[in-house]
Structure 1
Amino acid sequence: MIVIRDAVLRRTIQDQLSEADGITTTTAADLPPGHELFPYPRPDMIVLDAADDRRNALGPIARAVPLVMLIDAADHTDIAMAREVGARGILTKSMPAVQFVSAVRLVAAGGDVRAPAVVARNHHRPQSRNAVPLSPREHDVLLLLADGRTNQEIAAALYLSPTTVKSHVSTILRKLGVNNRVQAAAWYGQPLAEQ
């Protein structure tokens, strides 16, 4: 179920999902604020605009089915609200269609997905780290590595192959001058338990 009041965004998201194999959509665009969304048949997933004033009307159903929250940018308030309502996916509205559909499928399969911009917004690097010459993609990988993600989880979150992630991790360790993931996470300032 797509719960997006903005007609252009709603149509864009509906088109992206409807063109994907095995996905059917319905919308709750015409309901007034505060209206109970579910006399509708219970959906398998909800895609909700963080700006939609009906998000509080979802009630317990939002905790019973996977929820994807769309945000304009990596805004701290929207991210906090998305976590509070139990969103398993926090994605930006500008995410490319292929990545968006992949992220929706991952959430439907039980995963948690955060757009790279969302991950970056929730981690702040000290100025002294700017001297380390990491590429933007390496920085994205390091953010997730420091969050305790496995190579498979990083690959899923960033839409990369596990082999590519492994290569990025090796390069990051070399550039940081550390020997393992634990040391890289410690350098980043977020201790990571040895696995």
Structure 2
Amino acid sequence: MGDFYNRGGGQLTVSEIAVDTTATLGDGDTEDNMLAFDGNTVDYRIGLDDGTDRLEFGVGTTHGTTTAFVITPEAQISVEDAFATNIGGSFGTFSSSDTTPSVATGNLWKTHASGQTLTTFDDGLTGQTVTVISTAAVVFDCTSTNLKAGSADITTAAGDVTVWTFDGTNWYLIQFMDVSADMSSVGGGGGATNDDSNLILHMQMFA
């Protein structure tokens, strides 16, 4: 096993670690705690920023700078310079009775296999985009909620797809695919060509 060094330059040699041992950094005081990796040209860190109560993963040894991503007290992962999220390589499923399902753990979702009305998505992060695949008759209440998609509610059928983006307050509909529509040309209606300028996707765009 390699040796460990503290910041003062002293050497800490670990000769034995039990399988059930817990290593604790910090003593509960109001202070930052950090595990720093001292590289030849680039340093990295994993540490608790006590000022924000977030666990940071970043470049360098200064909290709050060149941060790649953090784990928040709400058990969410926030990517600082670009947004990315995943649900263990699969999709999430909304429950049948939840009208405001949480999207904290991913960006690809299917509705419950029964009719339901959705009024918003809980636990979103600013800049997050979610894709929702309807598996039944699902109504998106867009007239008096934080779902913004024009002047009327949207009723989807099984197989329809909606895509929403969050600005920190509201979810805005940016794409809606009607699975029953003819999507072989722009705007539907058939007559597709091999022209690359044609989008082989029928989308309704909402400002």
Same structural fold, with TM-score higher than 0.5 when normalized by the shorter chain: no
Q: What is the TM-score with the length of structure 2 in the denominator?
A: 0.24
Structure with greater proportional helix content: 1
Structure with greater proportional strand content: 2
Structure with greater Cα Rg: 2
Which has the higher relative contact order, 1 or 2, with Cα contacts under 8 A spaced 6 or more apart? Answer: 1
